Amino acid sequence: MKKNLPGLLLGTIAVAGMALAVSCVKTDNATCANTAESPVRAVSGADTAKANVADTLIVGFIVTNSCGKMATINPSVATTGTNVHVVTTYEGCVCTPAAFQVNQKYVFKSPNPGTYTLSFWGGGDTAIITKTIVVVP
């Protein structure tokens, strides 16, 4: 009976490789998640809307790496002006650094007619991207 030495050697290497890979698995249950405010680059959508009718805007914002996931867009709507902040959730322990734009829907709805100006943080200390919507009855 002839032994299959190359096959046995490859099998041993494969088992050793799996043992090494398992030993490198993270076991501290860290989620590697954080949040950060994202600068807005563009806002598009209708300039007019009807009271109590949802209007969908597209907000383009920058994420800083490949782990950037869904963002939260939380304004407090007022006719005197609204500061809109986009907060991105980053999930993952190994992220490729790369800044790129993500587009996400944002629904604007006002119960009252008037002119509403949404101000989005565009990065830095003074960069603001604005979107004005006239709400009619």
Q: Quick check: pTM over 0.75?
A: no
Q: For position 18, what pLDDT does the model report? A: 39
**What tens-digit pLDDT sequence spans the chain (137 residues)?**
555 444 443 343 333 433 333 333 444 556 789 999 899 999 999 999 999 999 999 999 999 999 987 788 865 455 555 677 888 999 999 999 989 999 999 999 989 999 998 888 888 877 888 899 999 99
Q: Map tokens 């806002």 to a residue.
A: 43
